[in-house]
Amino acid sequence: MIEVNGLRKEYGDFVAVENLSFFIGRGEIFGIVGPNGAGKTTTLKMLGGLIRPSKGSITMKGLEMSRDPVRIKSFLGFLPEESPLYEGMSVDDYLMFFAELYDIDKSVARKRISDLLFDLSLNADGKKIGDLSKGMKRKVAIARSLINDPDVLIYDEPASGLDPMTSRYITDYVRSLKKAGKTIVFTAHNLYQVESLCDNILIMKDGREVIQGTADLIREEYGKIQYRLEFRVDSTEEYDLADIKQLNGGYVIVTDDINVVNNTTKWVASRGGDIVEMRTIVPSLEDIFLSIMGIELFVD
């Protein structure tokens, strides 16, 4: 459904996205995660045809974005990170306004709007958009992204910054959109959300791919079982088996090598020290993500 090859985006001298390639099958959910500034929004904007890549190609349903942007946009639904809404309009008028932009027949639009409001549990009671809660505004933006009944949805952090209930609701709603056959690309900061929703995940850092694949593949590649050994000895001056950290008057090592654990245990015993605790840790996707980002885990 979507094929991206060698995508690059420069802003002046700054390269925001570099050599990104991926493939998304019909009806799949593809999640892009990465720290602030990783290039996620820039990537989505290129996918949405809002900005032009400096290099590389985007193909959707066999159409090339650089050649057929208008045709592609007719089957796209784009949800920006922050959606400017017309605050003075009612929800119905606002959605009808966008339906008209898409040239949708009035009676079809009316039915679609009423279905969307029902599906999203969005009862605005005739209020102006400006008077709605943050979660309701997000739902209005989602409804707008669906007004043309698109096949492909590009959602920038659809559920972030919302209360847990609305966030959960939107996550479940995205899942139901997949069931309805939509292909979805979205960015998120919440790794649990990504893992629960996505068929494939792309982790980005500094504009580049770190890894992509299923959550299981990422776990296999980066999520080796870790051993955490905490011990006490008088001095670690002669210890050179692993990186060592001081903690609570003792020492800790974290390693994926069981031999290091065994040899450290022997070394501690030979120095007359004590093992305080030995445990194994199966990293979650969140742990893997943080460790890819260079954050040291499991030491404390």
Ligand X SMILES: Nc1ncnc2c1ncn2[C@@H]1O[C@H](COP(=O)(O)OP(=O)(O)OP(=O)(O)O)[C@@H](O)[C@H]1O
Binding site for ligand X (CB under 6 A): 11, 14, 16, 34, 36-42
Q: How far apart are CA 52 and CA 72, in angstroms?
A: 14
Which is closer to ligand X, CB of 25 or CB of 37? Answer: 37
Q: Shortest approach of ligand X to residue 45 CB, angstroms? A: 8
Query: CA 18, CA 206: separation in Å to the nearest integer?
Result: 9
Q: Between 40 and 112, whose beta carbon lies closer to ligand X?
A: 40
Which residue lies nearer to ligand X by CB, 14 or 249?
A: 14
Give the Å distances, CA to CA, from 279 to 251, 258, 259. 14, 11, 14
What amino acid is encoded at 296 in this protein? E
**Strand locations in the chain, DSSP E?**
2-11, 14-24, 29-33, 55-60, 63-64, 76-79, 152-156, 183-187, 200-205, 208-213, 226-232, 245-247, 250-255, 274-281
Task: Report phi then psi at 2, rounded to 5.
Answer: -130, 130
Nearer to ligand X, 91 or 201 (CB): 201
Q: Which is nearer to ligand X, 33 or 129 (CB)?
A: 33
Find the shortest distance in angstroms from Cβ 64 to ligand X.
23
By residue count, the chain amounts to: 300
Closer residue to ligand X (CB): 11 or 102: 11
Q: Which residues of 160-172 are buried (b: 16+ CB within 10 A; e: fewer)?
A: eebeeebbebbbe
Q: Which is nearer to ligand X, 147 or 285 (CB)?
A: 285
Q: Which residues are registered as beta bridge partners of 78? A: 154
Q: Where are the beta strands (DSSP E) in 66-176?
A: 76-79, 152-156
CB neighbours (10 Å) of residue 87? 12
Query: Which CB, 42 or 264, lies closer to ligand X?
Result: 42
**Minimum distance of ligand X from residue 231's CB (angstroms):** 40
Determine the Cα–Cα distance for residues 56 and 19; give it in Å rounded to an integer: 8
As given in the structure block, the two tokens for residue 133 are 């809660």
Tell the smallest beta-carbon distance from residue 44 to ligand X (Å): 8
We find the least distance from the C-beta atom of residue 40 to ligand X, in angstroms, to be 4
Least distance CB 247 / ligand X (angstroms): 32
Task: State how far Cα 88 lies from the chain centre.
Answer: 32
**CB 186 → ligand X: shortest distance, Å?**
12
In the complex, least distance from residue 34 CB atom to ligand X, rounded to whole angstroms? 5
* Spatial separation of the C-alpha atoms in residues 76 and 148, rounded to whole Å: 8
